[in-house]
Amino acid sequence: MKIVYKLTGNCLRSTTHCNDHSGRGLQAVALKADLRQQGSFCTFKAMDNFLAALRKYVPISEEDAAYFYSFFKKKQYQRGELLLKEGEVAHEVFFVMKGALRQYFFNERGDERTCNFTFEHQFVTDLESFSRQAKSATHIIALEPAACLVLTCEDAVTCLKESPAVASLFGLIVENLATDTIRRIRSLLSKTPEEQIEELTKTNPEMLRRVPQRYIAQYLGVAPESLSRIRKRMIANQKS
């Protein structure tokens, strides 16, 4: 028995599915052969990176991964370009092949707050908006020039109905996005800014290197000046 996300009304809902996707292996093999014949190194490499990213969630065959990949479309975004606006419905899930994205919102006082960063080989969307097909509470913007694989909600429904293996995988991707949000909230509530920076230094140094300090400060819930003092103090302590 597999978990499948399907469209009920205008929303994605989980259900069970027992039918196999007939012929997906042949379709996937044909897709990989087409990519090789086209000589598109970038496209074929993208699928290999996509497969590697999927296997971080669960073991999946090349055939199932290629079938899932065939539903994505490649899009390019300029620095500062919005992929999703607050108030719009999130109709798409993004897989970052190159670049960095920032997810943010404005609180009741109109202050900007960064809640997430997404880098290469990671998925992102406004999960509540995508799952419910309701208005998004966040913006997603390109922090750097970005190349993404994009899956629409409509294509997701089609794909998940036809392939139990991909449906199970997609459920794990959604679960991972939700778990990351919970982990992020727990960290904000239980750790000091110093502890959070120390954790980022160990687990995500790429974020500290590539993201402007003002957005790191928003992410940690401190003023940019406070973040600067904290980082200088941490560097001084390391040298002493």
pLDDT in tens, the chain (240 residues): 333 444 444 444 444 333 444 454 445 445 544 544 443 334 667 788 888 888 888 888 888 888 999 999 999 999 999 999 999 999 999 999 999 999 999 999 999 999 999 999 999 999 999 999 999 999 999 999 999 999 999 999 998 898 898 899 899 999 989 998 898 888 888 888 888 888 888 888 888 899 999 999 999 988 888 888 888 887 777 776
Question: Residue 37 maps to which CATH number?
Answer: 2.60.120.10
Let me know whether 62 and 153 are in one domain.
Answer: yes
Let me know whether 172 and 195 are in one domain.
Answer: no
Let me know whether 26 and 135 are in one domain.
Answer: yes
Q: What is the pTM of this model?
A: 0.80
Domain boundary among 167, 187, 207: 187
Domain boundary among 168, 187, 206: 187
**Both structure tokens of 178:** 């939700």
Look at residue 240 in the predicted model and tell me its pLDDT.
65
Let me know whether 81 and 132 are in one domain.
Answer: yes
Look at residue 234 in the predicted model and tell me its pLDDT.
78
Quote the number of domains for the chain: 2
Let me know whether 11 and 103 are in one domain.
Answer: yes
Residue type, 4: V
Look at residue 30 in the predicted model and tell me its pLDDT.
52
For residues 84 and 138, give the distance between their C-alpha atoms in angstroms, rounded to a whole number.
8
User: Which residues make Cβ contacts (< 8 Å) with residue 143, sequence separation at least 6?
Assistant: 79, 99, 100, 101, 102, 117, 210, 211, 215
Query: Residue 200's domain spans which residues?
Result: 191-239
Let me know whether 102 and 158 are in one domain.
Answer: yes
Let me know whether 162 and 224 are in one domain.
Answer: no
Domain boundary among 145, 160, 187: 187
The single residue listed with the structure tokens 């899956």 is 151
Let me know whether 162 and 215 are in one domain.
Answer: no
CA distances (Å), origin 128, targets 58, 151, 170, 176, 208: 23, 16, 15, 14, 27
Look at residue 27 in the predicted model and tell me its pLDDT.
52
The single residue listed with the structure tokens 């509470």 is 137
Let me know whether 172 and 205 are in one domain.
Answer: no
Look at residue 226 in the predicted model and tell me its pLDDT.
87
Let me know whether 146 and 181 are in one domain.
Answer: yes
CA distances (Å), origin 167, targets 14, 16, 134, 147, 158: 9, 10, 22, 25, 10
Let me know whether 179 and 234 are in one domain.
Answer: no
Let me know whether 77 and 183 are in one domain.
Answer: yes
Look at residue 150 in the predicted model and tell me its pLDDT.
96
